[in-house]
Structure 1
Amino acid sequence: MAENRLNRDEAYQLLTEYTKSDSLIKHALAVEALMQAYARKFNADENKWGIVGLLHDFDYEKYPTPEDHPLRGAAILEEKGYPEDVIYAIKTHAEYLGLPRNSLMDKTLFAVDELSGLLTAAALVQPEKTIHTVTVKSVKKKMKDKAFARSVNRDDIHKGSEGLGIELGEHIEFCIEALKNVAAELGLDYTTP
């Protein structure tokens, strides 16, 4: 697969071939949207960054252990001819692999992965279950509550923001705004009575 031929439809097909869980698919779509938004901000390849976000956890449902994820997925992507920088970025989102995040794409994936989960959880506890009413202040408050969305790694959110050189509040606000654009797709739009 030539770099300029990265195909979003093929990537989505690969995601849904390996991932059946609605919540994991929505997580992939959320991370895709955040990666695309940051690609626009940084004048980077929006399609490539989006595909990195879409596929970062595609192997997780079948291979959830640190021994397998994301290395099994990386091997599958390699076999399918995905570019090395796409595969490497996906591997770097797993902190336990200890790989340095060298490129802005690597750093951005790490910065948005855990935060997308926290923002989704924050939206789902809103009365209308929407991202449109989530605020930076409420997200920061929820970050301090260890019982809220307990599987979300707060240290990774802080490290990710620092790695991008963006203040945490600004990073959260940017991500909230980006998710508003795909709220309907994520089930986080205003609910209709």
Structure 2
Amino acid sequence: MLPTRDEALAIVHEYTESPGLRRHMLAVEASMRAYARKYGEDEDRWGVAGLLHDFDYERWPNHDRAPDSEHPSTGVAILRERGVDEDILETIMAHADYTDVEATTRMSKTLRAVDELTGFITACALVRPTRLAGMKTRSVRKKMKDKAFAAAVSRDEMLENCAELGEDMGEHIAFVIAAMQVAAEDLDLNGPAPG
């Protein structure tokens, strides 16, 4: 079963209180939908996978990176009980590199490639007066070189996941920025910055 976007969003709201985490899932959804259009894939399927990929993270964050419990395993078990299609569940499992589920499909490789990058782009937008408006690839690249900025985000992981997807990093950054700009209002990044 492929949940509708409204059904997937209801699951997100049922399990996730944090506005920031909700916005992250919306950013990933926007990027997944854009890549699905680019690749000629099912936009709704890819969007739902992006929207649901972290819905369980707030309740079961998995700080120990256990491969078969907490996030994303717990969420996948919940979705499986609800009858969600296995390719979406596999994609969600594969987005976490500690689950031992390899990203072998284009959908799963795309989720891995956009997940960290959307978070990094959000961090970049939050320090800009115009947020996502007018953001350029070069400014994101510059922030990537600053190891103190968004230090928890692995630059190596972003580069590796982009390479696995087969995209040029500069083009990938520009593509994800553009996808997020379309959803900027929902992401609360449509600028200007408050105050």
Measured against the shorter chain, the TM-score band is: over 0.9
Q: Say whether residues 1:111 and 2:113 are aligned partners.
A: yes
Q: 1:178 is matched with which residue? A: 179
User: Normalization by structure 2: what TM-score?
Assistant: 0.93
In the superposition, the TM-score normalised over structure 1's length comes to: 0.94
Helix, strand or coil: the match of 2:186?
A: helix
Contact 2:128–2:193, Cα closer than 8 Å, also in 1: no
Trace 1:61-76 onto structure 2 (pairs within 5 A).
61-65=58-62, 66-67=65-66, 68-76=70-78
CA contact (8 A) 1:18 1:62 kept: yes
Question: How far apart, CA to CA, are the structure 1 residues paired with 2:35 and 2:120?
Answer: 18
Q: Which residue of the partner structure matches residue 95 of structure 1?
A: 97
> May I ask how many residue pairs the two structures share in their alignment?
189
Structure 2 unaligned blocks of 5 or more: none
**Aligned pair 1:38/2:48, yes or no?**
no
5 Å-filtered alignment, 1:23-172, equals: 23-65=20-62, 66-67=65-66, 68-128=70-130, 130-172=131-173
Separation in 2, partners of 1:24, 1:80: 22
Q: How much identity, in percent, do the aligned residues show?
A: 49
Whole-Å separation in 2 of the counterparts to 1:132 and 1:17: 31
> Match for residue 14 of structure 1?
11
- Deviations for 1:122-176, whole angstroms, at most 9, x for unmatched residues? 1111123x11122111111111111111221212210111011111000000011
Deviation at 1:192, TM superposition (A): 8.1
User: Do the aligned partners of 2:159 and 2:169 also contact (CA within 8 Å) in 1?
Assistant: yes
C-alpha contact (below 8 Å) 1:29/1:54 kept by paired residues: yes
User: Which runs of 4 or more aligned residues in structure 1 lie more than 6 Å from their structure 2 counterparts after TM superposition?
Assistant: none
The CA distance in 2 between the partners of 1:167 and 1:85, in whole Å, is 26
Residue identity matched to 1:144 = K
Cα deviation, residue 56, structure 1: 0.3
Alpha-carbon distance, 1:98 to partner: 2.7
Q: Is residue 123–residue 133 contact of structure 1 (8 Å, CA) maintained in 2? A: no
Q: Is the 8 A contact 2:129 2:193 kept in 1?
A: no
Letter in 2 for 1:104: R
**Offset at 1:190?**
2.5
- Secondary structure at the aligned position of 1:183 is classed as coil
